[in-house]
């Protein structure tokens, strides 16, 4: 085999051409790519923005192209590799395709059009289709599964969905499998991502009780008794009380006080502290979704994509228009699962869930799996499984 033919075969196999250009980190907006360029810089001048320096600031554009292709390949593939057929009589490719320019631009790693055009010239593939086109990626399948879970539990069955025989129509991640998939994600796939957080005994837990008169005792301001838990909430149905609160007054007030419904009412603002360190699932401070160009973190991308969508979904505002009890059903089931079924690797349960406030964009709200008898006042002596102590009360 001749040298020229061998070179052509090598170029075809790797999927991109050769280049003598170099690129600096100022030509990209992606931290992972900027870090790669810094670590692999070999030239003092950038071929695209013209930046110069005494030392090396620009990496090989040819090697940069290989990194870009690897990143694009996380979400995209060549049509033939996804089993897409080409039928001339039916208009060509039997799927919606994107051009290389579209895929590169949508990836959002640079606003430099010269860099985009140079990559288009370098890359052999001219048309792309979404990876796992027929099956869906892991994050897509989880999102579809969550959508099915919501529809199934709101409109089909909510008490026996785990045993339902009609789940096949909901796709590969069925409603019955959804809770287990989320559990596996937290305990295994994202075990090192800090999703389980400790609330220590020095943390203020703010809870507000709206009533006709001032309240002073932990039993009055804390979790209500079941007979007084008349309202369906985001995480708990009527009759199953939990301890809702926030870490600051503004968020607690926004989450609790309705100006129209509570006009003329008294607000008793209780500051509680936990009697032991509490372990909670933190959906309010999720790790950022890694760049597809950060190969070392590829394993977490699909799980974090889903979890960010999931966290936004369970925190979204729900209008109190008489239908909210239905809209709350999926999150109530999820909460009960984490309260009654989910266990840490050491076999212990968790104590609650943190989530973004639906009423205060910068605030974090929480629900603790705490019952009325587990709320004690300052002078009370804990004797059983008490969880929180009321340390101060203010009235508005």
Please tell me the predicted confidence (pLDDT) of residue 13.
65
Please tell me the predicted confidence (pLDDT) of residue 165.
53
Tell which residue, 44, 5, 7, has the closest CA to residue 24: 44
pLDDT tens by residue, 282-294: 999 999 999 999 9
pLDDT tens by residue, 32-76: 999 999 999 999 999 999 999 999 999 999 999 999 999 999 999
**Residue 39: HSE in the Cβ half-sphere, 13 Å Cα cutoff:** 8
Q: Are 134 and 162 in contact (CB under 8 A)?
A: no
Structure-derived torsion over alpha carbons of residues 381, 386, 387, 390, reported in degrees to the nearest 10: -40
Residue 11 has pLDDT above 50, yes or no: no
Q: Are 325 and 235 in contact (CB under 8 A)?
A: no
Cβ neighbours for 84, distance < 8 A, ≥ 6 positions apart: 93, 94, 95, 97, 129, 133
Please tell me the predicted confidence (pLDDT) of residue 268.
96
Range scoring the smallest mean pLDDT among 111-115, 360-364, 374-378: 360-364
Q: Whole-angstrom Cα distance, residue 378 to residue 256?
A: 23
The mean per-residue pLDDT over the stretch 95-119 comes to: 97
What is the SS3 string spanning 144-205? HHHHHHHHHHHHCCCCCHHHCCCCHHHCCCCHHHHHHHHHHHHHHHCCCCCCEEEECCCCCE
Q: What percent of the chain has pLDDT over 70?
A: 92
**Residue 9: HSE in the Cβ half-sphere, 13 Å Cα cutoff:** 6
In whole numbers, what is the pLDDT of the chain averaged over residues? 91
Range scoring the smallest mean pLDDT among 170-174, 186-190, 223-227, 364-368: 170-174
Please tell me the predicted confidence (pLDDT) of residue 157.
84
Residue 174 has pLDDT above 70, yes or no: yes
pLDDT tens by residue, 112-142: 999 999 999 999 999 999 999 999 999 999 9
pLDDT band at 322 (very low <50, low <70, confident <90, very high): low
Please tell me the predicted confidence (pLDDT) of residue 7.
39
Count the residues in the chain: 396
pLDDT band at 170 (very low <50, low <70, confident <90, very high): very low
**Range of 114-128, 155-169, 229-243 with top mean pLDDT:** 114-128
The mean per-residue pLDDT over the stretch 183-192 comes to: 95
Tell which residue, 367, 358, 393, 390, has the closest CA to residue 254: 358
Residue 378 has pLDDT above 80, yes or no: yes
Please tell me the predicted confidence (pLDDT) of residue 38.
98
């Amino acid at each position: 085999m001749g040298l020229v033919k061998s070179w052509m075969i090598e170029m075809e196999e790797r999927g991109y051409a050769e280049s003598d250009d170099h690129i600096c980190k100022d030509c990209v907006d992606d931290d992972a790519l900027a870090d790669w360029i810094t670590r692999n810089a070999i030239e003092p001048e950038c071929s695209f923005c013209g930046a110069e320096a005494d030392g090396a600031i620009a990496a090989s554009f040819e090697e940069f192209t290989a990194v870009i292709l690897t990143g694009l390949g996380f979400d995209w593939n060549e049509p033939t590799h996804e089993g897409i057929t080409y039928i001339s009589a039916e208009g060509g490719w039997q799927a919606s395709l994107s051009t290389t320019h579209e895929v590169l631009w949508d990836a959002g790693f640079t606003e430099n059009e010269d860099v985009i055009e140079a990559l288009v010239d370098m890359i052999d593939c001219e048309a792309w289709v979404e990876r796992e086109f027929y099956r869906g990626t892991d994050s897509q399948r989880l999102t579809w599964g969550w959508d099915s879970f919501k529809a199934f539990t709101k409109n089909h069955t909510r008490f026996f969905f785990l045993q339902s025989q009609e789940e096949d129509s909901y796709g590969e991640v069925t409603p019955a499998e959804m809770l287990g998939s989320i559990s596996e994600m937290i305990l295994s796939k994202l075990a090192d991502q800090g999703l389980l957080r400790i609330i220590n005994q020095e943390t203020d837990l703010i809870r507000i009780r709206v009533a006709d008169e001032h309240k002073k005792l932990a039993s009055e301001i804390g979790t209500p008794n079941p007979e007084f838990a008349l309202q369906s909430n985001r995480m708990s149905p009527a009759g199953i009380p939990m301890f809702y609160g926030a870490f600051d007054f503004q968020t607690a007030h926004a989450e609790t006080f309705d100006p129209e419904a509570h006009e003329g009412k008294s607000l008793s603002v209780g500051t509680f502290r936990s009697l032991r360190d509490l372990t909670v699932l933190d959906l309010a401070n999720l790790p950022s979704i890694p760049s597809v160009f950060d190969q070392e973190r590829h394993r977490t991308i699909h799980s974090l994509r889903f979890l960010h969508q999931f966290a936004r979904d369970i925190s979204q505002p729900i209008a109190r228009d008489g239908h909210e009890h239905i809209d709350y059903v999926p999150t109530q089931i999820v909460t009960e699962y984490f309260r009654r079924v989910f266990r840490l690797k050491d076999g212990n349960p968790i104590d609650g869930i943190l989530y973004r406030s639906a009423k205060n964009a910068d605030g974090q709200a929480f629900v603790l799996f705490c019952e009325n008898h587990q709320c004690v006042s300052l002078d009370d002596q804990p004797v059983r499984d008490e969880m929180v102590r009321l340390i101060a009360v203010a009235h508005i």
